[in-house]
Structure 1
Amino acid sequence: MDDWFPSALKLVTRAIEVGGIAVIVLGLMGSTIAVLWQVLRGRPGSDAFNLYRSNLGRAILLGLEFLVAADIINTVAIEPTLQSLFILGGIILIRTFLSFSLEVEIEGRWPWDRHKADDERSPRRTA
């Protein structure tokens, strides 16, 4: 491969990692500003706290997706060794567990129960 290609991939990987970190940091700042605004406007503390947790969890989930993408590119294209593959597998397992846990915290239900909640919200049709 050309000499520029690995350098370009490293640069792209680094940019995706910085993007993931930026999403998390900006999500933290945005969630904090939003909850402070809600409290100042008279929203009850428990509602504001739930909104804060939900928004912050979504930001972390999105940031984790960026970081996993960067790890995949790094492992597959830049350092394709067996050791880096095992490290990637461990990282993905940990981040998948974190993502799953955060989603349960945000939604308040198991992901496979999503269709049940959608069915309860939609009006029943009778023939």
Structure 2
Amino acid sequence: MINKFSPVGSSIAHTIEAVGVIIIAIGFIYAGISAVHCFKRKDRNTLITDFRKNIKSNMVLGLDFLVAGDIIRTVTVNPTLSGVASLGLLVVIWTMLVFTIHLEVHGRWPWQGEEVPCKSASPKKH
């Protein structure tokens, strides 16, 4: 049976994947320009940390588009068991990458929630 969605699905998948690649590339360029722009105002460690955070957040967004393109391609172009299995493996790898990037950027796992600062006890007035 010929899949009637194959040409359209393939075009859509390629377009979405191209957007993902463009997002990642622009993210690298933006992070580099931002780092150069702030070079004299920030110390080296802060500059490197900000640079890495910019790159990682854009990588996660770009990876989302790449995975979306693969999902569309698998559903419309290659709806076979091997296609679904390779998509499942890709999603597992993507999930591990996103969790690892989140841990590096925020210093905690996504399910740990926001860090709440401790309130110091105010001195009692007599």
TM-score band w.r.t. shorter chain: 0.7 to 0.9
* Number of aligned positions between the proteins: 118
Q: Does 2:77 align with 1:47?
A: no
Percent identity between matched residues is 31
Give the match for residue 35 of structure 1.
35
Aligned to 1:77: 76
Deviations 1:2-55 (A, max 9, x none): 85x421211110000000000000000000110111113x21010010000101
Alignment of 1:1-127 (within 5 A): 3=4, 5-40=5-40, 42-115=41-114, 117=115, 119-120=116-117
* 1:34-87 alpha-carbon deviations (Å, 9 max, x no partner): 0111113x2101001000010100010000000010111111121100001110
When the two structures are superposed, what TM-score results if normalisation uses the length of structure 1?
A: 0.86
Q: Which runs of 5+ in 2 are unaligned?
A: 120-126
Q: Distance in 1 between matches of 2:90 and 2:103?
A: 20
Letter of the 2:107 partner, please give it. G
Per-residue displacement from partner, 1:98-120 (whole Å, max 9, x unpaired)? 111001111111112224x1x43
Check whether the contact 2:27–2:58 (CA below 8 A) recurs between aligned residues: yes
Max Rg structure: 2
Does the 8 A contact of 2:10 with 2:76 survive in 1? no
CA distance in 1, matches of 2:9, 2:84: 17
What is the TM-score normalised by the length of structure 2?
Answer: 0.86
Measured at CA, do residues 52 and 121 of structure 1 come closer, stay the same or move farther in structure 2, by a change above 3 Å? farther
Secondary structure at the counterpart of residue 120 of structure 1: coil
CA distance in 1, matches of 2:58, 2:112: 22
Unaligned runs of 5+ in 1: 123-127
Alpha carbons of 1:86 and 1:121: their partners in 2 closer, same or farther (altered >3 Å)? farther
